[in-house]
């Protein structure tokens, strides 16, 4: 079984907290923006067994093959959790208790705010959506100091 410290280290090195803000699907009659939050770890294809252990550690999530056509990126396997309730009830409390050590702590803190806002349906109001977009714009802004 993997330890919490191992999960934190793996996430610091190979993980990501992200959110996608998508416009309403008018063809489906939707009027609200959608916000999809994701926690994931992506590794080389020969590390799939490790991602299966991560899935077992959390007791939730999916492991799947990810084809990547970006330059300087490789295909691999990805462990991902995307259900808002799982993020709010399992992932966020875990990383609040077992703190990240890298610059990804900034992304995590913004991610936690976004997940909470989505849970509260704030993305369905202009003010709430504006706040979520502001937080999202601050994610993944790694700068040398």
Residue 143: pLDDT band with limits 50, 70, 90: low
Q: Where are the domains of the chain?
A: 4-137
Fold of 4-137: Endonuclease I-creI (3.10.28)
Q: Quick one: average pLDDT of 5-15?
A: 97
Residue 144: pLDDT band with limits 50, 70, 90: low
Give the global pTM: 0.91
Return the closest-CA partner of residue 82 out of 58, 57, 47, 48: 58
Q: 84-122 b/e with 16+ CB inside 10 Å = b?
A: bebbbebbbebbeeeebeeebebbbbbbbbbbebbeeeb
Q: What is the pLDDT of residues 54-96, one digit of tens each?
A: 999 999 999 999 887 777 777 899 999 999 999 999 999 999 9
Q: What percent of the chain has pLDDT over 90?
A: 81
**Is-contact 53 81, C-beta < 8 A?**
no
Sheet holding 76-81, edge to edge: 15-22, 34-44, 76-81, 62-66
């Amino acid at each position: 079984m993997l330890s919490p410290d191992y999960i934190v280290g793996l996430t610091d090195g190979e993980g990501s907290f992200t959110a996608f803000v998508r416009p309403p699907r008018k063809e489906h009659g939707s009027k609200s923006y959608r916000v999809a939050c994701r926690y994931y770890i992506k590794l080389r294809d020969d590390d799939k067994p490790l991602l299966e252990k991560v899935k077992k550690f959390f007791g939730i999530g999916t492991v799947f093959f990810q084809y990547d056509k970006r330059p300087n990126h490789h295909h691999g396997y990805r462990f991902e959790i995307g259900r808002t309730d799982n993020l709010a009830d399992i992932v966020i409390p875990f990383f609040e208790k077992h703190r990240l050590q890298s610059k990804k702590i900034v992304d995590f803190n913004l991610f936690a705010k976004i997940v909470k806002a989505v849970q509260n349906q704030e993305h369905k109001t202009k003010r709430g959506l504006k706040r979520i977009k502001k937080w999202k714009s601050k994610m993944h802004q790694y700068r040398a100091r």
